[in-house]
Amino acid sequence: MSPKPMVRPGGRSARVQESVHAAVRELQAELGREALTVPLVAARAGVTPSTVYRRWGDLQELLSDVAVEHLRPEAPPVDLGSLRADLEAWAEQFLDEMASPPGRAYIRDALLGDPDGSNAGQCSAYAAEQIDVVVARAAERGESAPDVERVIDRVVAPMMYRILFRPGELDAAYARALVEHALSLSKP
Amino acid sequence: MSPKPMVRPGGRSARVQESVHAAVRELQAELGREALTVPLVAARAGVTPSTVYRRWGDLQELLSDVAVEHLRPEAPPVDLGSLRADLEAWAEQFLDEMASPPGRAYIRDALLGDPDGSNAGQCSAYAAEQIDVVVARAAERGESAPDVERVIDRVVAPMMYRILFRPGELDAAYARALVEHALSLSKP
């Protein structure tokens, strides 16, 4: 996990962040989410509780930061040779990850401890960056491609809305239908 | 405010719910959201704190229930004589309410204290019911109308996704463009 952009890599602040995030991940795995407290996390990370409170405010804000790190994409989208194939593969994988029980828990955590909306904005920026890679590749191939914001409205938003608000079957066919729809509109 | 469906209207349970919800609304207005505690709410409502804990679990779940009541539509969508006009008016009003600071706070509260997703599902059901009225009216007029789930994917989801995840300008023109897009697809 790399530190957040505003933290200088390798600095003390980055080391504190990394050890506190690691402590949260370990304790979540060992004890479960409900058992976490700031003093427990601080003890495991080898820092004082006041260091955690000073930097994160409370447990919910810390969990939100850790969740955003989990939601950071690990690699650029695969290149399958066409816009449609790349976007379908990306959307299917995104839906698969976000609709899974851990994905849902991270989205929830990211939103909850995020009073100013910056972590939610970061989650959305991750998706936009991935789509931007797919769209730029399509343009290089000479394919006509939709605008990134349109893909967000027509592919990302329906999946995330249904994950949060409208429980029900969300499968790869649903992701592909959204892509089909987004692409049909980019044609002249 | 009418009680939730599972509560018998006029019964003791409904009276407790109404007085606790009213106490939350009053104290939120008087002291602000951050100052609320279960003992304060219970005292104002004339019940014991344990009544509140037994019924709602914790403050966050209570705030989620109150938020869902705030998000309940107060009237059916206006009838302006055509599907497009009705859907535009509904979408503009929905965006206006949900993107306002109180709207955002209610959406957030509704999601936060909602471990099983039932309150989020209720918010989405409210929107679906309103769209259903608009679509049924259009069918009576002999207009061709899109499926309710499609309107949710193409109009409701982008608005809610951007409210939660992608801060920026959200205006009536954006709502109308989403409706235009949803309707262009329902034509043969």
Return the structure tokens found at A75. 């690699």
So what's the pLDDT on residue A149?
A: 94
* Confidence check: pLDDT of B7 > 60: no
A123 to chain B: nearest residue by CA?
Answer: B165
So what's the pLDDT on residue B9?
A: 65
- Residue in B121, B152, B161 nearest the CB of A156: B161
Please name the residue ranges forming H helices in chain A.
12-31, 38-45, 49-56, 59-71, 83-99, 101-112, 118-141, 148-151, 157-165, 172-184
So what's the pLDDT on residue A78?
A: 95
So what's the pLDDT on residue A141?
A: 95
**Which residues of A sit within 8 Å Cβ distance of B?**
108, 111-112, 117, 120-121, 123-124, 152-154, 156-158, 160-162, 164-167, 178, 181, 185
| pLDDT (mean) for A58-65 | 94
| pLDDT (mean) for A93-102 | 93
* Confidence check: pLDDT of A88 > 90: yes
| pLDDT (mean) for A137-150 | 93
Q: Which residue has the higher pLDDT, A169 or B30?
A: B30
Q: Which residue has the higher pLDDT, B134 or B8?
A: B134
Residues of B in contact with A120 (CB under 8 A): 164-166
Is the Cβ–Cβ distance between B87 and B146 less than 8 Å? no
Mind listing the pLDDT tens digit for each residue in B40-80?
999 999 999 999 999 999 999 999 999 999 999 999 999 99
Contact A160 B157 (CB under 8 A): yes
Is the Cβ–Cβ distance between A136 and A79 less than 8 Å? no
Average of per-residue pLDDT values in chain B? 90
Q: CA A135, CA A141: separation in Å to the nearest integer? A: 10
B124 to chain A: nearest residue by CA?
Answer: A165
**Which residues of B sit within 8 Å Cβ distance of A?**
108, 111-112, 117, 120-121, 123-124, 152-154, 156-158, 160-162, 164-167, 178, 181, 185
* ipTM reported for the complex surpasses 0.95: no
- Residue in A124, A165, A185 nearest the CB of B121: A165
- Among B89, B97, B77, smallest CA distance to B179 is for B89
Q: CA B157, CA B9: separation in Å to the nearest integer? A: 33
Domains of chain B (ranges, CATH numbers): 12-57 (1.10.10.60), 73-184 (1.10.357.10)
- Spell out the long-range contacts of B143-148 with Cβ–Cβ below 8 A and sequence spacing 24 or more: B143/B82, B143/B83, B144/B186, B144/B187, B144/B188, B145/B83, B145/B186, B146/B182, B146/B183, B146/B185, B146/B186
Q: How far is CA B111 from the centre of its chain?
A: 11
Amino acid B50 reads S
So what's the pLDDT on residue B11?
A: 82
| Local confidence band at B34 (pLDDT 50, 70, 90 cut-offs) | confident
- Residue in B124, B165, B166 nearest the CB of A165: B124
* Confidence check: pLDDT of B4 > 80: no
Contact A165 B112 (CB under 8 A): no
Mind listing the pLDDT tens digit for each residue in B105-142?
899 899 988 888 899 999 999 999 999 999 999 999 99
Is the Cβ–Cβ distance between A134 and A82 less than 8 Å? no
CA distance A12 to chain B (A): 30
Return the structure tokens found at A107. 């989205």
Contact B121 A160 (CB under 8 A): no
A122 to chain B: nearest residue by CA?
Answer: B165
| pLDDT (mean) for A68-90 | 95
Contact A158 B157 (CB under 8 A): yes
E-strand ranges in chain B read none
| pLDDT (mean) for A97-120 | 90
* Confidence check: pLDDT of B185 > 90: no
Contact B165 A160 (CB under 8 A): yes
So what's the pLDDT on residue B96?
A: 94
